[in-house]
Structure 1
Amino acid sequence: MSRDEMRAGDTDRQAVADRLKTALDEGRLDLHEYDERLQQTYAARTFGDLDSLVTDLPGTVPVQQSRVEPYEPPAAPLAASGAGDMRRPGGPPFLASYGGVVLLCFLIWGASCLASGDFIYPWPFWMLIPLLLGVLGRWGKRDR
């Protein structure tokens, strides 16, 4: 009896499935072909059936030559900072973004006053309330 006629075991099928997964990751198989071959792998009875599924695939590519980037978990956050703390050098990030919005509102209000020739109700002052509350909130956190 030749090797091709011998019955394959579950570990042999798993080894072929792993090799097919590697070929998929390397871009040698598309997802549809991988799925078909995987189904045939688990239905295979002999080594000949298994060998026919991987004969057109080259050997495994070493990690150093692979185009697939190995997974690296993200760096752990600093233990000193809180979960929602967004401190950056140069001040709180909301100050620049929301402060720009408030400035733009004041410019629009000023242009409207100049264009109409009247003093219009100063509605941009309402935009200062969330900005001031944010600044005071950040200032209060620094004391702790």
Structure 2
Amino acid sequence: MDISTGTRASNAERDKVVRLLARHLEDGRIDLAEYDERTAQVYKTTTKDDLQLVLTDLPKLSKEPAGQKASAARIPIWQKIEGTSWLGVSLLVLAIWGAISLSVGEFTYPWPIWVIGPWGAVLVFRMLTGWESGRCASPLR
């Protein structure tokens, strides 16, 4: 005896809805806070009908984003956020180093390279190899 009102949703269907929400976020239809709320709602959902309720006020999207040739070539939004964070912190530590050097009257030890270099190298490595983005073949699978 089935007591639920709809067909149960799978993890793959939930992931598909989250990817659609990410595209709406990239297009500016929803902001980051609303994206977080809707994503949490998606993962709490048990039926397919409830999954569709998350997308009811958003327009239907084509299978492939406009202007993109392949979805594998797109930079994921989380990598864009991390790159922007790296750039902001890099500029901040360079400004601090510059202010210290200016106040002392000579160039001090270039300590910002220890913030900018390793962090940037990790971001470049992850972007080029597809690490943590699903494009990298895992030996455990």
Q: Give the shorter-chain TM-score range.
A: 0.3 to 0.5
TM-score normalised to structure 1 length: 0.41
Decide which structure has the larger Cα Rg and report it.
Answer: 1
Superposition TM-score, scaled by structure 2 size = 0.42
